[in-house]
Amino acid sequence: MSSSSNVSQLMLLLSVFISVLIPNALAGNFYRDFDVTWGDRRARIRNGGQILTLSLDKASGSGIRSKNEYLFGRIDMQIKLVPGNSAGTVTSYYFSSEGATHDEIDFEFLGNLSGQPYTLHTNVYSQGKGSREQQFHLWFDPTRNFHTYSIIWNFRKIIFLVDNNAIRVFNNLESIGVPFPKSQPMRIYSSIWNADDWATRGGLIKTDWTKAPFTALYRNFIANACVRSSRFCRYKFANYSLDAKARNKLRWVQKKFMIYNYCTDFKRFPQGLPPECKRSRFL
């Protein structure tokens, strides 16, 4: 085999190796990066893959799933939520692995009557166990314009962000026995479905199907994340932290807009709050 042929094969192998190790920071394309998993034509990709619409009617909702699995990094998605009377509906954007002991990181937007605020529901699952909910009212109308919802995930912490403002931090506290999602690659999911048994005022307000179809819009998906596990990616994202300004904004959001925190729900945990709730650095 000629030396030039050897060089060509070496370059090809090197490019494959780099594609595995180096995070993908390219602007996303819904055609390229996602598969429609349910809902048939209720999930539509438009504008050459730049816009996704997910719709819900009385027969079905709809959803998509990323083709890649990710382990650590930052994922951004811009979403414009269902306007008007969206009571009973849930629009979601979340990460999840598979199986009974799956890991999961959730953004769920719980609809409400026209003129009332959406509830942003967040949760973290590790090894199949969740029950770590925090809920917020947003400080803007999420139906009028697109807003950016982001997850930063590394082996030390998970940070939830809205328009680049941190609203929640879930730290790795395995040292005190708290499971943390750090070893299972996860896909990205988005969906809209009917949950009027619990979504709006605990299920008291039902979905008004005369307002259907309910449609949410997605755009500007960006994955600056590892598509496979590697030492390079593990440490690339490990040192992300919040500066003083970001920590102050986080406290402001939690003080003004948090409406539920499992770490203060003594009725739910009569035998004692989960161990992470006792640590002052838990936010």
Annotated active-site positions, please? 104, 108
DSSP category for residue 100 = T
Q: Are 96 and 189 in contact (CB under 8 A)?
A: yes
C-alpha span between 146 and 216 (Å, rounded):
10
Q: Of the candidates 144, 179, 137, which has an alpha carbon nearest to the alpha carbon of residue 158?
A: 179
Report the DSSP pairing between strands 187-194 and 62-66: antiparallel
C-alpha span between 81 and 217 (Å, rounded):
7
C-alpha span between 128 and 218 (Å, rounded):
28
Check residue 63 and give left, alpha or beta (phi > 0: left; psi -120 to 50: alpha). beta
C-alpha span between 158 and 152 (Å, rounded):
6
Q: Of the candidates 166, 182, 202, which has an alpha carbon nearest to the alpha carbon of residue 95?
A: 182
